[in-house]
Amino acid sequence: MTVRHKVLGMTVALAFITYLDRVCIAIAAPNIMRELSLSTVQMSYVFSAFTVAYGIFEIPTGWWGDRVGTRRVLTRIVLWWSTFTAATAGAWNYASLLTVRFLFGIGEAGAWPNAAKTFSRWFPISERGTAQGIFFMGAHLGGGITPFVVRWLMNRFSWRLVFPIFAAIGFLWSAAWYTWFRDTPAEHPSVTPEELATIEAGREAAPALGSHGFVFNSSILALCVMYFTQSYGFYFIITWLPTYLEKQKGLSANALSLFSGLPLLLSIGADLFGGLSTDRVSRRFGLRSGRCAVGGVAMLAAGIFMIVGTATPQPWIAGVLIAMAGASANFPLGAAWGACLDIAGPRAGVVGGTMNTAGQVGGALSPVVFAYLTRNAVDWSAPLYIIGGLYLVGALAWFWVHPERAA
């Protein structure tokens, strides 16, 4: 195994841990709400506190990784978020839980852009979409199994013990990453001359980002719009989907364990094949087809699945279709982050952080909009129709993305 594939393995483990820590609070939410006497709207703000903080600090932390390297920055990120994951167990009221989750969001900000920055240094351009797809596969595997793990733990212990257990995994990863990883292939003692030549030759083909006004580049703006829509739907899936399936579709507790995790479990295959597809189509038909056609078709499918699934009265069919919508929306993640690296050159952290910040705006709005739209409603379908419509907007946004052009 080459060193760059071991680097990929470490980042996949990172992605896995991030989703353990993100998703566990959604599964524990009913217990937390009962113990701390929280309303649905208050819990929605707890969900969004993480996302708001995450979005605010995405670009600064991405810039920091561009400046000092991802070895130190990712170590700090995981140590910080693991500390506040553990601190979640100590929340005693609404204000304390809101504060801890906001600080947790500050800590996790920049994880995705710095992982992308790592790929830009360690992988040739022809392998980056696949690397990103495998990275997200690890994230969604973590999110997919989390409902089962959390429910198993809460059947035996208090919900408060779940968070320190998950935090300990992050502390172990940080120690391993800082000890073994190096910011560039040339610094790593195990990289052979042959592997170094492969990485550097493939990396030279990437365009360099211009020095002025990259935020106003049409491709980056279009990626931001697309990622807003993708993240808006995704944060519904990892926050309110279990509640929706129970209240609106009438699924049993056992079925909820399955269907709460099914979108992320299906996303494991979507991430892998999405990453492979964007690289293979790019090699054959060019970067624009490889990134934009793959991304646009996947988001179109996501919108159709979400709208049809919401309208379907049969609970299990609805659950499957909504899960397929979530997986389809995750299929273009390799294309999206690959396009960022294609456009960004040496500023991969900043450009990735910009796109991800737009996503976090959608992620912050999603739980709150859901809570307000359903607060006094008998039918909870409206928020899901909004998600389906946004996915269609995300499909359209790909027409304005040009990864083959330097920004």
Structure tokens at 134: 């495998």
Residue 269 burial (10 A CB sphere; 0-12, 13-18, 19+): middle
The pLDDT of residue 349 is 67
The pLDDT of residue 228 is 96
Q: Report yes or no: 354 and 59 within 8 Å, Cβ to Cβ.
A: yes
The pLDDT of residue 316 is 87
Q: Report yes or no: 272 and 302 within 8 Å, Cβ to Cβ.
A: no
Length of the chain: 407
10-residue block means of pLDDT along the chain (407 residues)?
Answer: 91 87 79 88 84 82 81 92 91 92 87 85 83 84 79 85 90 95 91 88 53 64 94 88 79 73 86 87 85 94 95 88 94 86 71 83 86 82 94 95 73
CA angle centred on 9, ends 8 and 11, rounded to 5°:
65
Structure tokens at 285: 């038909």
Residue 273 burial (10 A CB sphere; 0-12, 13-18, 19+): middle
Give the homologous superfamily in CATH for domain 3-400. MFS general substrate transporter like domains (1.20.1250.20)
Q: How far is CA 112 from CA 73, 164, 315, 389, in A?
A: 12, 23, 34, 26
Q: Report yes or no: 49 and 103 within 8 Å, Cβ to Cβ.
A: no
Structure tokens at 258: 């399955």
Q: Report yes or no: 327 and 273 within 8 Å, Cβ to Cβ.
A: no
Q: Where are the domains of the chain?
A: 3-400
Nearest Cα to 245, choosing from 229, 258, 233, 235?
Answer: 258
